[in-house]
Structure 1
Amino acid sequence: MSVMDLPEFEAALMYGVEALREGLAVVVANPSPLTYGVIARDARVVNRLKGRPAGQPVGVSVHTEASHDRLFRCLDLRTDSLAMVDFALAERITVLAPIRPDPTMPEWLAPAVKDGWVLFFDGSWGPTWFLWESHPFLYGSSANRTGEAPAASAAEARAQFPARSQMIIDADDQRRPATAYGPSTIIRVARDGRPRLHRSGIQDPDVLLNRLREFRSAVAVLDGSARSPLGRTYLSTSVDENGKPKQLVPNTRIRLGFARQPNKNEGDPRVWDIVRAHVGCNSLGTAAAAGELLTGGRLSIPGIGGTQVGCEPPLRDQEEWLEAFLTSGPAWRLSGDELTLTSGGTTITLLDRMVAEPDFPLDGVKWTVVTTITNADARQGYGRTEAAWIRFDDGRLTGWTGGNDVTGTVTRNNTELSFTDVAVSNRACTAESAAMQAAMLATFQPAVSYTIDHNQLTLLAPSGRGLDLSAQVRY
């Protein structure tokens, strides 16, 4: 089915995704009574559409699990305050929070940071979720030219941006009627966790702040500690059973991730505490109301679900062992970056993933192509005898397509790479290496987004073509 065959609203969302990939701005609806907003992959595009200086800070939307977790690691706030922030995001409030002077802060946060404070929101909304979650992060602001009121309807958006907006997602019929519309309220959360009104919006500030303070106090009592594993991922460093080391299946390790996320559906709880687990085969996980997962120094998991991949017997047995351990109510203890879980005679020691597996640098690393990407999400692996790879060194690209050498130049900003002067040698290619070479050349374009997760690099061109690459790592 082509885009032209889709219903009008779904087709508009698809065109919106393509516009964002091409580096354009999109004006998108928010749920009532919020006004429309403008979003883009490049903060400068948002400012240009609004008629503001290119370098003016903007908000960043943290609507995916990865961007949410990376941001929250950088916030200079205690656990109970982070829970309050998640509650605010669930209520569609924009947050201004202190950020640590951390050299590992992801570069994509820079356009949203000013004087040690970061501005962020969760723009994802049910009818338009596909538009948001087709990108790892997006920059945004209210849909208005400087000095004018934010657009409360698609018609008002068209009036303000008749020739400047490249795409307007008309979702007026998806929103409930409201007597008044306005932009999101902005709260400023101090380092001591106290929220204050930073900018009035459509939400009542007195009611809002009281609810946030009450929620923070309640979660602080439930957590019982200023520190917890929430917001971090841990990797096992040792497992002991009855005083003796337990050997895991070769080339596997236990991965536990703890998160606190807003409930995007109507109703309670407004914020979930989540644990995710992996030990070589299926992904496991469960959620509980905020404050109820890590109570009284114990991990309280009444049940756990997961994917249904068929595992080989050693991995299946190991997975069942871990599931039984996690649901036994193990005691947890956090000491610096080390997390210890204990139940019965079993002790699992884990280390913060950012310490155990810090992100590789972009430069000076041989990145091997694992899969090629088409249409931003469809992935295809190749079984070459000699893998294709690339390397970045101070603005120079070198590599191997599986049949030819590749060279070029590359420049970078906070979120993107721009490739120029890309050339390949002139050797004959097999059909498979020719397909890989075409995929690589289609990726090496201007304005290519890049993300690094430990030893995994993803490149995605505006066309939706891209590459998943990996740097070698050993346990």
Structure 2
Amino acid sequence: MSNRIALAALVLIGATGCTGGQLEQGGPNLRGKVYVSSSVTEQGKPRALVEGTKVDLRFTDDDRLMANAGCNMMQGPVSLDDGKLSVAEISTTAMGCPKPELHQQDEWLAKLLDAKPSWKLDGANLVITGADTEIVLAAEAPATLEGGTWLVDGIMNGDAVSSVPGDAKTTFVFKDGAMTVDNGCNYQGPVGRPYKVDGDTITFAWDGKTLIKCRPDVETVENALDALFAKGKITYKIDRNTLTLTNPSGAGLTLKK
């Protein structure tokens, strides 16, 4: 079968229409689930992936498959009928991979998906089997707001996102109804501020902060914190291990766990 990979910009990923509930046909509902490779074999022998990479398969709520092998993102409408994983038209981003091996790994995964491999669930694992390749993928547990530490890695202003400058480090911890923010300057733990969650909205009472002089890079993030907390209410969204916090004015932060 010919390779039907069509180069596309990343913004096209969200533009494909849904396929009418295909993920519920022919087996369990995989919508909203993410699977990460735990083993890969080819012709019965282990296949080593590029160091630091894994195969990620994400089944979206609008019946698309999003796949990644360490560089570009692939996506397309997907169905699971008759034990086959069928992606109608695979498109991929056109990002230049830092290593030729990553580009080759992208092509390998795209070829496997384009050939309509078989799929099955083995306990909590998803097993994808092609002509001479088998990938065993473990279900990824979704991150939760509480439990663990979130590290700020981006500053949002409307649709624009900028990286955290310098060595500025700011953390959030949500635990037992208390939100603790620590940037090593005017926002410092361990005292937490009470908060409540209603749907995707966090409300809180902020009782001010100290006013000491911070390093320029820390001050940049602190200004973003001031803007985020200005309204006393923020909206949150968790996508895998990424937390996005925004307020009604569009000011916000992205965080990683």
If the length of structure 2 is used for normalisation, what is the TM-score? 0.79
Aligned pairs for 1:191-202 (under 5 A) are: none
SS at match of 1:417: strand
Question: Which of 158, 174, 179 in structure 2 is aligned with 1:397?
Answer: 179
Deviations 1:54-89 (A, max 9, x none): xxxxxxxxxxx8xxxxxxxxxxxxxxxx95xx5xxx
| Other structure's SS at 1:248 match | coil
1:284 matched to 2:74? The reply is yes
Deviation at 1:418, TM superposition (A): 1.9
Q: Is the alpha carbon distance of 1:409 and 1:432 closer, same or farther for their aligned partners in structure 2, counting shifts above 3 Å?
A: same
- Distance of 1:229 and 1:395 partners within structure 2: 32
Is the alpha carbon distance of 1:229 and 1:391 closer, same or farther for their aligned partners in structure 2, counting shifts above 3 Å? closer
Distance, in Å, in 2 between the alignment partners of 1:330 and 1:370 is: 37
Q: Distance in 1 between matches of 2:74 and 2:131?
A: 22
SS at 1:405's partner residue?
Answer: coil
SS at match of 2:249: coil
Q: How does 1:98-113 map to 2 (within 5 A)?
A: none
1:466 and 1:433 map into 2 onto residues whose CA distance is: 16
CA distance in 2, matches of 1:304, 1:433: 42
Q: Which residue number corresponds to residue 437 of structure 1?
A: 222
Give how far 1:463 is off: 1.4
Are 2:250 and 1:468 equivalent residues in the alignment?
no
Does 1:410 find its partner at 2:194? yes
1:363–1:392 Cα contact (<8 Å) kept: yes
Alpha-carbon offset, residue 230 of structure 1:
4.9
Unaligned stretches of 5+ residues in structure 2: 1-13
2:104 equivalent in structure 1:
317
Aligned match for 1:420, one of 195, 200, 205: 205
Q: What's the secondary structure of 1:239's corresponding residue?
A: strand
Contiguous gaps of at least 5 residues in structure 1: 1-64, 66-81, 87-218, 262-272
Indicate the residue corresponding to 2:28 in structure 1: 227
Contact 2:151/2:172 (<8 A) preserved: yes
| 8 Å Cα contact 1:408/1:422 also seen in 2 | no
Tell me the residue number matched to 2:118. Answer: 331
User: CA contact under 8 A between 1:402 and 1:437: conserved in structure 2?
Assistant: no
Aligned counterpart, 1:351: 138
Give the conservation status (yes or no) of the 8 Å contact 2:150–2:256.
yes
Query: Aligned equivalents of 2:106 and 2:38: distance in 1?
Result: 17
Could you tell me how far 1:382 is from its partner in structure 2? 1.7
In 1, Cα distance between equivalents of 2:234 and 2:88: 44
Cα gap change, 1:454 to 1:410, in 2 (>3 Å): farther
Residue 150 of structure 2 is matched in structure 1 by: 367
Q: Give the greater-gyration-radius structure (CA).
A: 1
CA contact (8 A) 2:168 2:183 kept: no
Distance in 2 between the 1:326 and 1:459 partners? 35
Structure 1 residues 419, 408: CA separation in 2 closer, same or farther (over 3 Å shift)?
Answer: farther
Aligned-partner SS, 2:254: strand
Match of 1:140 in 2: none
Check 1:385–1:440 CA distance in 2 against 1; reply closer, same or farther (3 A cut): same
Q: Which letter maps to 1:359?
A: A
Q: Matched residues in 2 for 1:328 and 1:226: separation?
A: 20
CA shift for structure 1 position 468: 0.7
Change beyond 3 A, Cα 1:400–1:339:
same
What are the Cα deviations for residues 390-410 of structure 1, in whole angstroms up to 9, with x where unaligned? Answer: 223334333323533335523
User: Conserved in 1, the CA contact under 8 Å of 2:206 and 2:232?
Assistant: no
Q: Distance in 2 between matches of 1:441 and 1:329?
A: 50
Structure 1 pair 260–396 and aligned structure 2 pair: CA distance change class (3 A): closer
| CA spacing shift, 1:432–1:314, aligned 2, 3 Å | same
* Residue 239 of structure 1 pairs with residue 40 of structure 2: yes
Shift of 1:244: 2.1
Do structure 1's residue 459 and structure 2's residue 245 form an aligned pair? yes
Kindly tell me: are residues 228 and 435 of structure 1, through their superposed partners in 2, closer, same or farther at Cα, counting changes over 3 Å? Answer: closer
The alignment yields a C-alpha RMSD, in angstroms, of 2.9
Q: Which residue of 2 aligns with 1:111?
A: none
Offset, 1:345: 2.1
3-state SS of paired residue (1:410) = strand
CA–CA distance in structure 2, aligned partners of residues 393 and 416 of structure 1: 16
| Structure-2 residue corresponding to 1:114 | none
- Cα distance in 2 between the residues matched to 1:330 and 1:295: 11
**SS across alignment from 1:428:** coil
TM-score, with structure 1 as normaliser: 0.45
Residue 408 to residue 232, structure 1, CA distance change in 2 (3 Å)? closer
1:413 counterpart letter in structure 2:
V
8 Å Cα contact 1:299/1:332 also seen in 2: yes
Cα separation, 2, equivalents of 1:454 and 1:301: 22
- Relative to structure 1, the CA distance from residue 408 to residue 337 in structure 2 (aligned partners, 3 Å threshold; closer, same or farther) is closer
Matched residue SS, 1:296: helix
The 1:332–1:402 alpha-carbon spacing in structure 2 relative to 1, beyond 3 Å, is same
1:265 paired residue number: none
Is the 1:229–1:334 Cα contact (8 Å) retained in structure 2?
A: no
Paired AA for residue 164 in structure 2: Y
